Amino acid sequence: MTRTFSAPMTPRRLSSPGIAAWTSCGKRSSDSTMILGAIPGATPDKWAARWRERFPEHALDVQYYDDAGQLARITEGTVDIGYVRFREYQVEVDTEVHHRVLLYREEPVVCAAADHWIAAADESVGSEELVDETFLDPARMLQDWGPTGGESAAGKLATRAPEDHAPEFHKPLAGGDLAAAERMALEVAATGAGVVVLPNSVARMLSRKDVVIRSITGAPGYETGLAWLRQQDSELIQEFIGIARGRKAGSPRSALAQQKTSPQPKRKPAEKKPRSRPAARAAKPGRTRKPRRR
């Protein structure tokens, strides 16, 4: 029988958007900068480089956050466009509030101690083979075993409604603060106390020598995409979506590129005025002209 430390939290739909301008200091640094909210395992560097090459006049800032609460950040205006990742068949996006485009599917992997029986598998294990395992839920563990001994700040923020989010929830993360819950779960898994199921990209990002990673067959994967507010849709966002989906530079579908390459109206050439012939020099007084011989 499958045992878990806790059941995963059920995602819920968000209410109507209320835009707020937050950053690490509580406010956005510049309204002219488009902010992309990335999540653990995402690699937007290639897209960002292409954007800056094609549209250097439009600033792009990439900031990292945990998966939890990403739709809330988009709704509240912390980011203009953001990565969102859900388990297959569990996508909770209100299409009346958000646009969402699917980018790719990630396979689920199981992470276990190096001396666990899973390590004997060459590449993958079947989901039916894991039914008796103890699964560690990273989000719940961060709440129960946080550094404060009770519910951690991150745990509290993860369970609050969007309107209750404190400024810390909108602060970009880096280093060990990014994916802190998953890091903690992997640390426990390394002791043999249980196994962790993660998206493949996250597991590879947080890989450890004392933890093995194996693919899971017969289990739903993860759908990763980009989302943004319908009411904030713009040419800039559409251009970034185009880059993310492989649109080439100078594509006729690129509105901004067409504006940059559209021919300027030609000026009419100035009308040339006919040159006036200089007046014949007057004969000096006292002299008479001799008639020319014919």
Structure token pair of residue 222: 């993860």
Residue 142 to residue 265: CA distance in whole angstroms: 62
On whether the pTM is more than 0.75, the answer is no
Phi, psi of 31 (to 5 degrees): -70, -20
> 142 falls in which pLDDT band (50, 70, 90)?
confident
Helices of type H across the chain? 45-54, 70-76, 138-144, 153-159, 180-189, 200-205, 235-244, 255-261
pLDDT bracket for residue 141 (50, 70, 90): confident
The reported pLDDT for the residue numbered 216 is 98
Taking 70 as the threshold, does the pLDDT of residue 56 lie above it? yes
Confidence band of 26 (pLDDT split at 50, 70, 90): very low
Q: What pLDDT is recorded for position 104?
A: 94
Q: What is the mean pLDDT of residues 231-257?
A: 85
Q: What percent of the chain has pLDDT over 90?
A: 59
**Quick one: pLDDT at residue 249?**
83
Report the C-alpha gap between 143 and 136 in whole angstroms.
13
Q: What pLDDT is attached to residue 209?
A: 97
For 78-122, write each residue's pLDDT tens digit: 999 999 999 998 877 899 999 999 999 999 999 999 999 999 999
Burial class (CB in 10 A: 0-12, 13-18, 19+), 294: exposed
Hey, what domains does the chain have and what are their CATH numbers? 17-106+221-260 (3.40.190.10), 108-220 (3.40.190)
Cα(204)–Cα(211) distance, rounded to whole angstroms?
A: 11
